Structure 1
Amino acid sequence: MSFNLGIENLGKNRINENVALLTNTSGVTQNLEQNVEFLIRKGFRIRRIFTAEHGFYGTLNDGDDVKNETYNGIDVVSIYSADRKSIKPEELEDVDTVIYDLQDAGTRPYTFISSLKNLLITASELGKKVVVCDRPNPLSNIVDGPVLKKEFVSFVGADEFPLRYGMTIGELAQFMNRNIGADLSISKMTDYDPSKFYDNYLKYYVPPSLNLNSLDSMFNFSGMVLLEAANVSVGRGTPYPFMQFGLEDPIDIRSDEFEGVILRKTSFISLLNPLKEKKLKGYFIHIKDKKSYSSIRMVATIMKKIYDMDKNLINLKKLNLNYGSDEMSKWLEKNETVTDLYEKINSEISEFMKIRKDYSLYRFPN
């Protein structure tokens, strides 16, 4: 049996249905055929395309309003703007099934997950079917970081799972659907080992969004998204988003503080806020071992150094939303180490793992 993506395994029983597609240009086959063309070639009737944050081509900055457009004569409807984050009921009147096919980032604040949750809610209310076409978790099945607390659910924190959740998007859809009850099915991958990484399976990397332009940036994002709560550039507005970070007043970091990574001193100027057009000093991140590298643990150390230097550099409200609780904010105020923080994190992960197994779709090879 050879490896196939979920989109490549999509059942032909859907051909006689009217379908909508929630996707962007990361939704391609292994040979880079766009899913829209792939499905039309197979005989599917696509009534419309929905697109989430960053737009259909994945080229808009985070937070930018996404506009409606067309693709190959099919309406592309935005479900991401200041005043909407979900599909309207009338947009599904002529649709039987919505197919979700987006490459996720493996990290909770990446909002494609929240768009999927909103799709499940809308489909449940309208009695529509949802099919999630599964794709590899780019960060493998390694779970890391805090579990979100219910009172911190937001559009950058869809549900009570860890910051780095270690599940495929199909598994995560099943988990989120536990409290929704939509008519959900998963088009699974074949010959998939969840302990492996994206590049073990797919020859070509298609960025799901502008600032995750490499697999390394995706690995860094799982922790660097927390650093965005500080007045620090994480490389947005440079050729190396989430590959470097910098401040006006540098902090001192030793590379040997962290496993699986080397930090190299650098200086750069970003064309975007925060700290737009200022000369910054910081570090470039070189990943040498993806299995042992924890971006979240590294960023916790960096945040502690920034807080001790000037606590006013950190927006605690934003940190709480991205972290999924106020535990890191409380920790920053105490005289505690990253090891102390991770005692709580590991306890939360242990409890989550008991739940996660009920939603697993793939077994490790014998």
Structure 2
Amino acid sequence: MVIFSNLKNTVLLWFLIVSACGNVDKSQKPTSDETDLKNASDQILPVVVGANRTEKYLPMLQGKKVAVVANQTSVLFKGTADKTTKSHVHLVDSLLALGIQIQKVFAPEHGFRGQADAGEKVKDGTDTKTGLPLISLYGKNRKPSPEHLENLDVILFDIQDVGVRFYTYIATLQLVMEACAENGIPIIVLDRPNPNGHYVDGPTMESAHTGFLGMTEIPLVYGMSIGEYSKMINEEGWLNDSIQADLTVIPLENYTHQTTYSLPIRPSPNLPNDTAINLYPSLGLFEGTNINAGRGTEFQFQRYGASFLDKSQYSFKYWPRPNFGSKNPKENGEVCYGKDLSQQPKMSEVSLQWLLDAYMNAEDKDKVFNTNGFTRHAGTEKLQQQIEAGRTEEEIKVNWQPDLEKFKKIREKYLLYE
């Protein structure tokens, strides 16, 4: 009965779309109702990630010696019989089963299986399941060395990003692309949706503060899939000496930047759900302070607090403890006074309201900022200065706009999706 009902609804929706289109004057733009119907029909089709489009990239791997840049999110999805849930198989396992000659795996921050804490060094090793050598790109090396790339024919990159500049996977992407360009090795990027791809916002990285938390002068939230962003890196001359990699992007199907996409696998230990991922651009700025942003609880990036915030201003409190992904959280074991944001509606902007609230209510304001860390996350010294000077959110955001408009014009050249 469920299948029949779904089929009936699909047929009815298709009939309505066809009927509406039949009455359209082709010389005029579609009405908003017609656009809504088309958008509804688009959502019937599930997003197909680049990894699942094997017909596009397997021919480029056959007979080649391949290295894969991957973590726990690097999977191919398999629909189940009722099409309501999905199982998955890891990309590496799938390629090995197909006879592809994988030589090694490069692992980003958090490691190949995604178990390491944020900032925790990851060591080289061997994958116990496949026996493949694991080369860490978040340990003594951030960039593959020429020795790591010896006897390789192609690099395959497949990691789920969340679209925030200080989330280090895009820095890993840039350094891998640079190594490939320098050593004449083609790179294939399997595209994945950006759950924060529906907007562009935040302070823009300044050249004086670039590093692994932001290698290029882009806004905090840049509104691009990782495939689109790889094209921007390559063609804007952001690799060393403006060299270009031999880059191929395997695009998504049935995706636009307004498509709601729920990540089926944690992209890192402290982003457990859609709410945390959506709040991460705003609450991630607390990473450069001494205020806890939910690490050491089961509500990472869905709350904030500290023992030195004025408890008379808050009805919410919690105690961070060591847990999966956070062996030593800020304010470990201390009572944190702050706010619970776990029911916050979906956002389409970077919000400073919580950072401003915490600073205003800090009993000792000198305890708030870890200045060097905050600058590296914000990408500028100005934001801390503006907060300490008592600027409002509106006043601060006005200063972002010229850089945001400049970036949007560059971004437009590399968009693969509407």
- Calculate the TM-score normalised by the size of structure 2: 0.78
Provide, for residues 236-268 of structure 1, a one-character-per-residue CA deviation record: whole Å limited to 9, x for no partner: 1222211221111335899xxxxxxxx982322
User: Once the two structures are aligned, what percentage of the paired residues are identical?
Assistant: 26
- The one-letter code of the counterpart of 1:7 is A
Determine whether 1:245 maps to 2:304: yes
Which of residues 166, 171, 177 in structure 1 aligns to 2:228?
A: 171
The verdict on how the C-alpha distance between 1:5 and 1:331 changes in structure 2, with shifts beyond 3 A counting, is same
**Larger Cα-atom Rg:** 2
**Equivalent residue of 2:253, what SS?**
coil
Match of 1:335 in 2: 390
Is 1:60 paired with 2:99? no
Q: Does 1:24 align with 2:24?
A: no
Q: Per the alignment, do residues 20 and 250 of structure 1 end up closer, same or farther by CA in structure 2, a change over 3 Å counting?
A: same
Using the alignment, how far apart are the partners of 1:128 and 1:264 within structure 2?
57
Say whether the 8 Å CA contact 1:136–1:197 is kept in structure 2: no
* 1:298 correspondence with 2:353: yes
The runs of 5 or more residues in structure 1 that have no matched partner are 255-262
| Alpha-carbon separation, structure 1, partners of 2:216 and 2:131 | 36
* Paired residue type of 1:11: Y
Query: Does structure 1 residue 147 correspond to structure 2 residue 204?
Result: yes
Among 181, 187, 190, the alignment partner of 2:253 is: 190
1:158 Cα offset (Å) = 1.8
CA distance in 2, matches of 1:104, 1:137: 6
Match of 1:358 in 2: 413
Q: Is contact 1:221–1:295 with CA below 8 Å preserved after alignment?
A: no
Kept in 1: contact 2:288–2:370 (CA 8 A): yes
Contact residue 309 and residue 363 of structure 2 kept, 8 A: no
What residue is the counterpart of 1:257 in the other structure? none
The answer to whether the Cα contact below 8 Å between 2:271 and 2:277 also exists between their aligned partners in 1 is yes
Q: Deviations over 1:291-325 (max 9, x none)?
A: 44x35333442354257851342112211110111
Backbone CA RMSD of aligned residues? 2.2
Q: Which runs of 5+ in 2 are unaligned?
A: 1-44, 79-87, 323-327
Equivalent residue number for residue 80 of structure 1: 138
Distance 2:312 2:354 in 1: 11
Report the CA distance between 1:16 and its aligned residue: 2.5
DSSP-derived class of the 1:320 partner = helix
Contact 1:171 1:359 in 2 (8 A): yes
Matched, 1:110 2:167: yes
Aligned equivalent of 2:51: 7
CA contact (8 A) 2:308 2:363 kept: no
Q: Deviation string for 1:261-288 (max 9, x for gaps)?
A: xx98232233323211112222111344
Distance 2:58 2:369 in 1: 51
Letter in 2 for 1:57: R
Deviations 1:29-86 (A, max 9, x none): 22311111222234422111110110111111011121222241211211211x3211
**Deviation, structure 1 residue 113:** 0.9
Structure 2 distance, partners of 1:107, 1:264, is 30
1:226 aligns with 2:270: no
**Pairwise CA distance, 1:346:** 2.4
- The AA in structure 1 aligned to 2:301 is F
| SS of structure 2 residue aligned to 1:76 | strand
Shift of 1:167: 0.5
SS of alignment partner, residue 92 of structure 1: coil
Give the distance between the partners of 2:375 and 2:351, measured in 1 at CA. Answer: 14
Which stretch of structure 1 is more off in the superposition, 339-348 or 295-304?
Answer: 295-304
